[in-house]
Structures are given as C-alpha cells and as structure tokens.
Amino acid sequence: MQLPNCATLLLEQVDGVLHLTLNRPDSRNAMSLAMVTELRAVLAAVQGDLSVRAIVLRGAGGHFCAGGDIKDMAGARAAGGDAYRALNRAFGSLLEQAQHTPQVLIAVLEGAVLGGGMGLACVSDIAICQQDAKFGLPETSLGILPAQIAPFVVRRIGLTQTRRLALTAARFDGSEAARLGLVHFSEANKAALEHRLAEVLSQVRQCAPQANAQTKALLLGAENQALGPLLDRAAEQFAAAVSGAEGVEGTLAFVQKRAPTWAAE
C-alpha cells in the first residue's frame, strides 16, 4: 500500500494502525477542500488493505476540527453557487466514505469538535473524547445550514437531540457528548484519553480483520436495507466465514487454548 503525500495531514503507520492527524493547527484544523481531498485519497489507499486494522483520526495542536474553512467559503463566493454546492457536497462524500471504510475508525476528540468536526466524530466506529472538549453545530448562528453533517448526526444521536443542537447552536462538553451517545468514552485528562485509546486498540486486535470489515458492513446495512434480504445475505456470509481462513483459525485457536494469529501480531 502506497499512502499519498499530504500537506494537511500527518500519517504514521504503527503495528497495523494508521494514525491520521488533521494538521492545520493554526486554524484549529478547519476543514479545507485540500484537506477533504487528501482525507479521501488516504481512505481510498487503505480501502482494500486489511493489514491496516484500525484508523485513528485526531487533530494536531490540541483541537480536533473547528468545522469548515471560512477562507474556502470566501473563495467559493467569488465563483458563485455551483462552487458552494461542490464544496459542500465534497465534505458529504468524505463522510460517506469514512463511514463505510472497512477498517475500525476511531476518533480521538480534544478541544474544538465543531460543525464538520462533529460530523467526522459521528461517522466513527468508536469515539473517545476529553471531558473538556467543546462540541457543537454552530452553522445556524452563522446564517448557514449543517447541510452535509445533519443526516449523520441524526443517525448517531437521534432526531430530537439533533433538532435541539442544530436549532440552538448550543455548545456542550465531553460529558454531555457521552450522555447523548455521540462518544463512547469521555476521559478526564490527556493521560486517561491515551490509556483508553490503547485499550480500545488492544480490543480491536483481538478481532479478525475480515470478520470486522464484514460485520461493520452488516451493521450499517441494518439501517436501511430490508430485513429478509439482509438476513439472507448475512447467512451466506456466515457460512463462508465459518469455512474460511479466519473462521478455521479462530475455531482451532479456541480449541487449542491459544490466541489466533491476528491477535498475536
């Protein structure tokens, strides 16, 4: 796998984990079109490589992401409505792609988690935040809409809470994010955050990579696919998995009371 060269991202691959850091700290990692393009290229590069077991997404400089880049919006203003539309839709495409990446996507959230940053948090499989992180959907206070973000927030925390947050632009902390179900873990400080991340990655490594990828697709499909056909396909996948390499190894490891090969890596 060849990762692309990136100007707005830091990339580090360690022990089957791709650490992907948004790296525009001077703007609190505001999401520029260049960053969106680079994120999509990185996700495309790892799409078929399950030696990458997890992707850890975080921000540099003490913030996750403060939302969209106002400079990009100003540039689009000069080009007219089509440029606004393309800029906005590009971010929605990133959210779709991130949600469906076969690897386990883990969001580590500190500082500002606003607008598009909150959208990215909502497409993660596992979200870990620091309690003093600041979440919110500020778009309506700026006279604009959380157009691409809203559907993903609704799926994450439900329509009622999303209406409250989007229509008030209210800010809230990590404890409230955990109560809403936006994040899974809210930690008191940086050390606890890193400890929790290490624990989660250790748990991910216990799971077979192909089984995880197929399970993730199955769970996402449960949202919008008809139940009967979904269960039919799931039965076929189960039968193939039981007799496949991971199923055989997992069963044998259990009988032999040892770790399977993917957990021993």
pLDDT in tens, 125-177: 999 999 999 999 999 999 999 999 999 999 999 999 999 999 999 999 999 99
Q: For residues 113 and 144, state if they share a domain.
A: yes
pLDDT at 81 over 90: no
Q: For residues 140 and 30, state if they share a domain.
A: yes
At residue 81, the 3 state secondary structure works out as: helix
What is the number of structural domains in the chain?
2
Q: What percent of the chain has pLDDT over 90?
A: 89
pLDDT of residue 84: 82
Q: For residues 197 and 235, state if they share a domain.
A: no
Residues 6+ away with beta carbon under 8 Å from 159: none
Q: For residues 155 and 180, state if they share a domain.
A: yes
Q: For residues 216 and 136, state if they share a domain.
A: no
Determine the structural domain holding residue 232 and report its residue range.
209-255
User: Rounded to whole angstroms, how far apart are CA atoms 123 and 150?
Assistant: 12
Q: For residues 221 and 154, state if they share a domain.
A: no
pTM: 0.94
Q: For residues 85 and 198, state if they share a domain.
A: yes
Specify burial of residue 14 (Cβ count, 10 A radius: 0-12, 13-18, 19+): exposed
pLDDT at 40 over 90: yes
